[in-house]
Amino acid sequence: MDLQLKGRVALIGGSSEGIGFAIARLLAAEGASVAMVARRVEPLEAAARRVREETGGETFVIPADIRKAADCERMVAECFEHFGRIDILVNNDGAPPLGRIESFDDNAWAKAVEQNFMSVVRLTRHALPHLRNSGAGRIINVTSLSVLQPLKEFGLSVATWAGVLGHAKTLSLEVAADGITVNTLCPGRIATGRLVKVFGIGGEIDEARMAEIAAEIPVGRLGTPEEIAGFVAFLASPYAAYITGCVFHVDGGRGASLV
């Protein structure tokens, strides 16, 4: 199926590895040009080379820290300067530390707000003029199932991503007439390095623990970054033009709510 993404330009956060990388690779394979963003230069450049080699797509690297206001503005400016347009914004990054809410001081909360919430606010604000010019702009936020189904010690992520849900829903109402859609994905347990941080002991997860984690998911396995990327690619396509203001579980059936 041709998703009709040829000629489109996507700006993708956290794309040196994991879900962000999978999104960049699939959008490039579908014909989009991709601006790939991450904090560490060498892994980012290596990821971009891999995308080019595997897809033949055009890539552009933007080393940046989305926690910094100036970097958010620069990301959008450099992407537009290089490609001459921006059609798709994928707000994706890592997540704040785990821990009991009472253990975090004001500085930890400030960092979490900058990373999870203000990055979305700023990148979206700077990208909106270009997305309007696109005529079919797409904003896709990648958060986590924990924002819909809170877990102990995930307080920094849950609280800040809850703000993203409110921002996205309100924005979707304000920009719908411009042909811009705004949607949010809430992945469940996906096979990335984040899973090791959450469940690993000593930097790894043994087979027994992995089996326990998989058994808690109705489909009986972890999700893959490529499965998240597939949904993002669909939402970025013309086929999803009537879908906006939505929050999607992508979790193998693990979400325990009716909506």
The enclosing domain of 177 has a CATH number of 3.40.50.720
* Sequence-distant contacts of 52-57: CB under 8 A, at least 24 apart: 52/28, 54/25, 54/29, 55/25, 55/28, 55/29, 56/28, 57/27, 57/28, 57/29, 57/31, 57/32, 57/33
Q: Find the mean pLDDT for residues 119-128.
A: 98
3-state secondary structure 80-147: HHHHCCCCEEEECCCCCCCECHHHCCHHHHHHHHHHHHHHHHHHHHHHHHHHHHHCCCEEEEECCHHH
pLDDT of residue 204: 64
Same domain, 127 and 13: yes
Same domain, 31 and 51: yes
Are 90 and 12 in contact by the 8 Å Cβ rule? The answer is: yes
> Does residue 128 fall inside a structural domain?
yes
Q: Is the pTM of this model over 0.85?
A: yes
Could you give the CA distance from residue 119 to residue 72 in angstroms, rounded to a whole number?
7
Cα–chain center distance at 62:
16
> Does residue 140 fall inside a structural domain?
yes
Same domain, 102 and 203: no
Same domain, 60 and 104: yes
Same domain, 125 and 216: no
pLDDT of residue 201: 47
**Residue 12 pLDDT more than 60?**
yes
Are 166 and 199 in contact by the 8 Å Cβ rule? The answer is: no
> Does residue 120 fall inside a structural domain?
yes
Give alpha helix (H) positions in the chain.
18-29, 41-55, 69-83, 106-112, 119-134, 155-175, 193-199, 207-215, 225-236
Q: Which two tokens stand for residue 92?
A: 């994706």
- Range of lowest pLDDT (103-112, 167-176, 189-198): 189-198
pLDDT of residue 200: 59
Same domain, 129 and 201: no
Instruction: Output the CA angle 50-80-119, nearest 5 degrees.
Output: 80
The one-letter amino acid code at 239 reads Y
Same domain, 162 and 217: no
Are 33 and 60 in contact by the 8 Å Cβ rule? The answer is: yes
pLDDT of residue 196: 67
> Does residue 2 fall inside a structural domain?
no
Q: Find the mean pLDDT for residues 231-249.
A: 98
> Does residue 19 fall inside a structural domain?
yes
Same domain, 157 and 203: no
Could you give the CA distance from residue 138 to residue 239 in angstroms, rounded to a whole number?
12
Same domain, 129 and 199: no
Same domain, 180 and 84: yes
Same domain, 63 and 182: yes
* Residue tagged 């797509």 (tokens): 57
Same domain, 215 and 128: no
| pLDDT-derived band at 202, boundaries 50, 70, 90 | very low
Q: How many distinct structural domains can be found in the chain? A: 2
Task: Give the domain extent around 151.
Answer: 9-188+226-250
> Does residue 3 fall inside a structural domain?
no
pLDDT of residue 199: 66
> Does residue 1 fall inside a structural domain?
no
Q: Find the mean pLDDT for residues 81-100.
A: 96
